[in-house]
Amino acid sequence: MVQTYNREDELKERFNQFISSKVTGENIDYYSKLSIEDFVDIKTTLSDINNIITYKTTIRFMDWLREYFLM
């Protein structure tokens, strides 16, 4: 039996798994409930993720520097 690959099914599964495990804790099909406009809103909201990562990394590095040089 040959199964055909369905890209949307894979994306749906990955999206739902992430939202369920990291955000809500509920196993719901969020993907099917969201419109393309909703996905655009999510993308816009998360567009600064690199800035968030840089900020958090900088703060941790500053904390490390402070601790290191106070010893």
DSSP for 4-32, please give it: PP-HHHHHHHHHHHHIIIIII-----HHH
Instruction: Examine residue 1 and state whether it is found in any structural domain, yes or no.
Output: yes
Q: Looking at the predicted structure, is the pLDDT value of residue 38 above 80?
A: yes
Instruction: Examine residue 39 and state whether it is found in any structural domain, yes or no.
Output: no
Instruction: Examine residue 47 and state whether it is found in any structural domain, yes or no.
Output: no
Q: Are 36 and 47 in contact (CB under 8 A)?
A: no
pLDDT for the residue numbered 21:
96
Give the pTM.
0.69
pLDDT-based confidence at 51, cuts 50/70/90? very high
Instruction: Examine residue 49 and state whether it is found in any structural domain, yes or no.
Output: no
Instruction: Examine residue 10 and state whether it is found in any structural domain, yes or no.
Output: yes
Instruction: Examine residue 52 and state whether it is found in any structural domain, yes or no.
Output: no
Count: domains in the chain: 1
pLDDT for the residue numbered 65:
96
Domain that holds residue 20: 1-33
